[in-house]
Amino acid sequence: MVPVALTIAGSDSSGGAGIQADLKVFTAFRVYGAAVLTAVTAQNTSGVRAIVDLAPDFIGAQLDAVLDDFEVDAAKTGMLSRVGIVEALVARLTARPIPNLVVDPVMVASSGDRLLAEDAVKALRGSMIPLARLVTPNLPEAEILTHLRIDSTSTMRDAARALVDLGAHAALVKGGHLQGDDSHQANAIDILYDGESFYEFCAPRIDTMNTHGTGCVLSAAIAAGLALGADLRTAVGKAKKYLTSAIATAPGLGHGHGPLNHFAPSPF
């Protein structure tokens, strides 16, 4: 049987993030990709021009349609921009749990455009995160969710622990935004906490503008790895390796934050 991975996210018309990026990553990992669309955006590598949120009931109907027909091995969430969308998904995912749910708390695009309403943050924090096998915030997102100031690997660990205290099975705090000593400048460090132990994943920091959709790509790659049967630590490590390669071999498209190479070799 071919593993099935599901993305629940918004559409990116430029193809670098969101549903489009997730499905390409699933294909690169050789898992079957299904999709539940939450919003449609008019965007490119330079910014988000417009957003149309889909009705929560229709989003729920999409999820029901997928779950009625497929056995989903893993899923990831991305852009959940309104509180009604979060509530509709939480209600269904509570009644019909999906194994290996990766919650990527998408709040701000690479261009700096806000993608999550303030009231949705509270719903995400209180209702969606407790359903997660893994939550994958970057540093600004982790600060919003935990109300902590994060400026070191030590405070990244504090944030990861706080996210697990919110109910997540595990937390991966991504250190791409971390500033500090020479080691932080040279390397991108992510910290995984599984409720018992901490693990660090380190890769060379690449000086590039091609960072559009990095969070989407990483969370999709982790979900794909989990769908393939990998344990959490292995899935995160291989996804990090894939992401680093995808950034390093980016095609150089667009005039802003360019997309990654979604067809970098799969580490599986």
- For residue 40, the cross-strand partners are 11, 52
3-state secondary structure of 44: strand
Please state the three-class secondary structure of 47-89 as a single string: EEEEEEECCHHHHHHHHHHHHHHCCCCEEEECCCCCHHHHHHH
Residue positions annotated with a catalytic role:
174, 211, 213-216
**Cα-based torsion angle of the residue sequence 228, 232, 238, 242 in order, rounded to the nearest 10 degrees:** 80
Q: Measured between alpha carbons, how far is 236 from 202 in angstroms, rounded to an integer?
A: 11
CA 251 and chain centroid, separation? 21
Q: Mapping DSSP to helix (H, G, I), strand (E, B) and coil, where does residue 204 land? A: strand
CA dist., res. 159 & res. 178, Å (int): 13
Contact predicate 15/45, CB 8 Å = no
Phi, psi torsion values for 74, nearest 5 degrees: -160, 155
Q: Identify the burial level of 49 via C-beta atoms within 10 angstroms of its C-beta, where 0-12 means exposed, 13-18 middle and 19 or more buried.
A: exposed
